[in-house]
Amino acid sequence: MAQIKDKQKAIIDIATKYFCRYGYNKTSLDDIANEAQIAKGTIYYYFNNKEELYMSVIQENYAHFSTMLEKQIDAMDGFEAKLREFIHFPIRLIYEKMPLLHASLNSIPLSFHKPIYEFRLTKRKNMLDKLISILEIGKQEGVLGIDLQVERLSEIIFDWFLLGDPSINIADIETLLKRIDRDHEIIINMILYGLLKRG
């Protein structure tokens, strides 16, 4: 069983490299099989088709991202540091995985958009739960108002700042991400401190 998991993981790792480098359309199962030094039929033993392999790549990368994000947030002390890390860490990772993310939004066959959409909905819920827990820490620390609607604020931060609304079709994601990366400190400070100068 462990050997099967190791082989499957090796295929996913190589597929991730190819999908990130060449995108979905320009990556073939032949490329992946050649790199893995296996027969193409071995890929079909683990995955029914390229779409299923691609979905496994997305799931594996999200699981890795989620684990890293948890560690990064847990290593931070206090509400402000945790919120800053929650917002900035995903942006850094999206830059690293940009071709893969872009392909998931724009390059896969239309018939495969529904599974991607449903996956993003599920992961949006997971991320919102993480963000809500951080905002609750802010309330416990007395930094945030006790009557703050953390669920609504978390949706605003996540959907507009972290591109978390799966119904939004992003045409020029690279430009948008550069703008977010450039402006994230200003936006975090606006969330934390508001706009008005206080005495």
Residue 142 belongs to domain with CATH number:
1.10.357
Q: What whole-number distance in Å separates Cα of residue 35 and Cα of residue 134?
A: 42
Asked whether residue 152 is assigned to any structural domain, the reply reads yes
Asked whether residue 1 is assigned to any structural domain, the reply reads no
Asked whether residue 78 is assigned to any structural domain, the reply reads yes
Q: What whole-number distance in Å separates Cα of residue 118 and Cα of residue 131?
A: 20
Asked whether residue 30 is assigned to any structural domain, the reply reads no
| Segments forming the whole domain that contains residue 156 | 50-193
Asked whether residue 107 is assigned to any structural domain, the reply reads yes
Asked whether residue 140 is assigned to any structural domain, the reply reads yes
Six-digit token string for 129:
């739960």
Six-digit token string for 23:
């995108």
Asked whether residue 13 is assigned to any structural domain, the reply reads no
The per-residue pLDDT for range 8-35, each reduced to its tens digit, is: 999 999 998 888 788 788 889 999 999 9
Low-confidence ranges of the chain (pLDDT < 50): none
Backbone φ and ψ of 15, nearest 5°: -60, -40
Six-digit token string for 74:
């847990």
The count of domains in the chain is 1
Instruction: For the beta carbon of residue 122, count every other beta carbon within 10 angstroms.
Output: 11
Asked whether residue 34 is assigned to any structural domain, the reply reads no
Query: Cβ neighbours of residue 123 under 8 Å, at least 6 residues apart?
Result: 62
